[in-house]
Amino acid sequence: MEMPITDSHMHLSPDGRGGEAVKDFVKTGGTHIILANKPYGIDIRDAEGFREEFGTTQRLRDLAREEGAVVNTIQGPHPVHYTHLLEKVERDVAHPLMMEAMEIAADMVREGDAVGIGEVGMPHFPVEPWVREDSKAQLLHAMELAAEIGCPVIVHSETSDGIYAELAEMASTAGLDTQKLVKHYAPPATAIAGDLGMFLSILAKEDNILTAFAGGNDFMLETDYIDDLKRPGAVLGPKTIPKVTRKMLENGNLTEDQAHLIHVENPSKVFGIDIHL
DSSP string, the chain: --S--EEEEE---TTS-THHHHHHHHHTT--EEEEEP---S----SHHHHHHHHHHHHHHHHHHHHTT-EEEEEE---HHHHHHHHTTS-HHHHHHHHHHHHHHHHHHHHTTS-SEEEEEE--SS---HHHHHHHHHHHHHHHHHHHHHT--EEEE----TTHHHHHHHHHHHHT--GGGEEEEEE-S-HHHHHHHT-EEEEE--HHHHHHHHHH-S-EEEE------TTSTT-SS-TTHHHHHHHHHHHTTSS-HHHHHIIIIIHHHHHHT-----
- 153 - beta bridge partners? 117, 181
- Topology (CATH) of 6-271: TIM Barrel (3.20.20)
Q: What is the pLDDT of residues 165-176, one digit of tens each?
A: 999 999 999 999
pLDDT at 1 over 70: no
pLDDT beyond 90 at 15:
yes
pLDDT digit string, tens, across residues 36-94: 999 999 999 999 999 999 999 999 999 999 999 999 999 999 999 999 999 999 999 99
Give 237-274 pLDDT, tens digit per residue. Answer: 999 999 999 999 999 999 999 999 999 999 999 999 99
- pLDDT by residue (tens digit) across 105-135? 999 999 999 999 999 999 999 999 999 999 9
Whole-prediction pTM:
0.96
Q: Report the distance separating Cα 48 and Cα 52, nearest Å.
A: 6
Cβ 206 vs Cβ 175: under 8 Å? no
pLDDT tens, residue by residue, 138-164? 999 999 999 999 999 999 999 887 999
62-65 contacts, C-beta under 8 A, 24 or more apart = 63/12, 63/18, 63/19, 63/22, 64/12, 64/18, 64/19, 64/22, 64/33, 64/35
